Structure 1
Amino acid sequence: MAEHENSIKVILFEMNNETYGVPVDQVLSIEKVDAITRLPNAASFVKGVMNLRGLIIPVVDVRDRLQMGKSEITEESRIIVVDTDEMKVGLLVDLSKEVTDIQESSIEPAPAMVGGPSAGYLKGVVQIDENKLLLLLNLDRVLSHEDVDDLRSLEV
């Protein structure tokens, strides 16, 4: 291994007992789920909007977006607030875990069959131990330009 190998910091979270990650540099905060106001005529994966310290932020149900069913909000559910395409969006996840360093050389492209229809939403896959994979989300694909434009109309 090279001495100065590049690594990235990622925040780990779980959905359906699988471990996912997003780059720390895109994460603004991790929040407990509080009041989410439902919106009429929003896409099915848009849970609603929330007030985060005076900012109205759209909340996306990541499970629903990745076609894994709708999230059930529990005591462990979290909203990971990310900054993507110059807008803030809350990502509803089952459980937020920790921050870890990932060596860029350990990131492998996501095979088309990993994740089924949601494989396009993955930036890559990392083997984190003998029996566990880390799925890195590609936030630019999770929230397409069309989705971002729709969500921008919800921002205040």
Structure 2
Amino acid sequence: MTMFKIVAFILGEEEYGLDIEYVQSIERIDQITRVPNAPSFVKGVFNLRGNVIPVIDLQGKLNLGQAKYTDKTRVIITKFEDIELGLIVDQTSDVIDVAPEALEAISSSGFDSDYFGGIAKIDGRLIILLKLAELMKAESN
């Protein structure tokens, strides 16, 4: 397996990463239109260059509490198969090359590991990798 790139971002106190292959863009938080009867972590939809994209609060989705929006808050626009989804994160940090040997599998330590693809250990940082496919699957049910 060769190097791959991730977009690293902050949720609360932790750093997370998504495979850059699924990241379309990173946007400032804009006008989000609420959707009736949506789960609490679904913040609504927003219009991005003519496309209406559902937006979820990733912290809420992962049961990490509610996001506090600041001027650093960003929406990571992701696309998996034909589904676009906006993920609200506290802030994005950087794009990082990850070597396979820097990856460590998450042992089944009793938490819901469906969403987590492992931990990247890079320059003293621990970055929890999220599986977008699993997050999306949960959204479309």
Give the TM-score band, short-chain normalised: over 0.9
Rounded Cα–Cα distance in structure 2 between residues aligned with 1:61 and 1:19: 15
| Residues 128-143 of structure 1 aligned to structure 2 (within 5 Å) | 128-130=122-124, 132-143=125-136
Q: Secondary structure at the match of 1:143?
A: helix
Q: Which has the higher strand share?
A: 2
Of 58, 82, 85, the match for 1:86: 82
- 1:33-88 alpha-carbon deviations (Å, 9 max, x no partner): 01011111112211110000011000011001100011111110000000013111
Partner-residue secondary structure (3-state), 1:141: helix
Find the counterpart in structure 2 of residue 41 from structure 1. Answer: 37
Q: Aligned to 1:127, which of 114, 121, 137? A: 121
Cα separation, 1, equivalents of 2:27 and 2:121: 28
CA RMSD in angstroms, aligned pairs only: 1.6
Bigger-Rg structure (1/2): 1
2:90 aligned partner, one-letter code = D
State the one-letter code of the partner of 2:4.
I
Taking the aligned partners of 2:73 and 2:28, their CA distance within structure 1 comes to 7
Give the Cα–Cα distance (whole angstroms) in 1 for the partners of residues 139 and 26 of structure 2: 22
C-alpha distance in 2 between matches for 1:7 and 1:76: 28
Structure 1: tracts of 5 or more residues without a match: 150-156
Structure 2 CA distance for aligned equivalents of residues 62 and 94 of structure 1? 9
The residue number in structure 2 matching 1:72 is 68
Paired position in structure 2 for 1:17: 13
- Any idea what SS the aligned residue of 2:104 has? coil
The answer as to whether partners of 1:76 and 1:95 remain within 8 angstroms in 2 is yes
What's the CA shift for 1:118?
A: 4.3
Unaligned runs of 5+ in 2: none
Give % identity: 36
Give the conservation status (yes or no) of the 8 Å contact 2:102–2:122.
no
